[in-house]
Amino acid sequence: MNWWKLPGDIVIRGKNSTIYIPLTTCLVVSVVLTFVVNVILRFFRK
């Protein structure tokens, strides 16, 4: 599996161009970054 082209990402191919909309990839990155930031903030607050 290619990590930058997950199921749920949208690819539209035309004759001369390709449009790639990484919906699932953005969602996964957002969840991971939110988790990491929360862990870091909890570590520094104590």
- Is 4 contained in some domain? no
- Is 38 contained in some domain? yes
Query: What stretches of the chain show up as alpha helix (H) in DSSP?
Result: 23-45
Give residue 11's pLDDT: 92
Q: Which two tokens stand for residue 23?
A: 């919906």
Q: How far is the C-alpha of 22 from the C-alpha of 10, rounded, in Å?
A: 6
- Is 22 contained in some domain? yes
**pLDDT tens profile 5-33:** 778 889 999 999 999 999 998 999 999 99
18 contact partners, CB below 8 Å, separation of at least 6: 11, 12
pLDDT at 2 over 70: no
- Is 32 contained in some domain? yes
- Is 28 contained in some domain? yes
Structural domains in the chain (count):
1
Instruction: Quote the domain boundaries for residue 20.
Output: 10-45
Q: DSSP 3-state assignment of 29? A: helix
Give residue 26's pLDDT: 92
- Is 39 contained in some domain? yes
- Is 35 contained in some domain? yes
Quickly state the pLDDT bin for 4 (edges 50, 70, 90). low
